[in-house]
């Protein structure tokens, strides 16, 4: 079974920085997409940043210029560098990926989430 494991979430003061990591493991043939989503209490889960196999990146307008997504294909790992954090960034951050494991079509996977809290 494919698993995604996130790490790096914690309490940080406004203006601070965090780096989230997500490592995929299992019987992986290829990864077409990896991205970060977040969900705050009472709100819908939203895409924060994504990177494709062709190295195309996309960011939500609220994080452009502050967050950077990167990928280490050799380690099947994606990172999210978060700078100039705001209280509005507080949420559970989820890693997601579309992975091919065999003859079946690409399938989406989710990590269990990591809590990011930005507060004084």
pLDDT for res 48: 98
Rounded-to-integer distance, Cα 89 and Cα 87, Å: 5
Rounded-to-integer distance, Cα 50 and Cα 109, Å: 14
Rounded-to-integer distance, Cα 67 and Cα 45, Å: 18
Place of tokens 């494919």: 2
Indicate the pLDDT class of residue 1, thresholds 50, 70 and 90.
confident
pLDDT for res 105: 86
Q: Tell me if 78 sits within 8 A of 104, measured CB to CB.
A: no
Q: What's the rounded mean pLDDT across residues 55-84? A: 96
Indicate the pLDDT class of residue 102, thresholds 50, 70 and 90.
confident
Indicate the pLDDT class of residue 104, thresholds 50, 70 and 90.
confident
Report residue 34: phi and psi, to 5°: -140, 140
């Amino acid at each position: 079974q494919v698993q995604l494991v996130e790490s790096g979430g914690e309490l940080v003061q406004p203006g601070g920085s965090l780096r989230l990591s997500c490592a995929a493991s299992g019987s992986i043939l290829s990864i077409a997409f990896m991205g970060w989503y977040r969900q705050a209490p009472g709100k819908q889960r939203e895409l924060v940043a994504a990177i494709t196999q062709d190295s195309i990146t996309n960011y939500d307008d609220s994080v452009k210029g502050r967050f950077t997504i990167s990928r280490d294909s050799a380690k099947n790992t994606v990172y999210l560098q978060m700078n100039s954090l705001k209280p509005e960034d507080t949420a559970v951050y989820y890693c997601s990926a579309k992975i091919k494991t065999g003859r079946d079509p690409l399938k989406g996977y989710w990590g269990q989430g990591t809590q990011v809290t930005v507060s004084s």
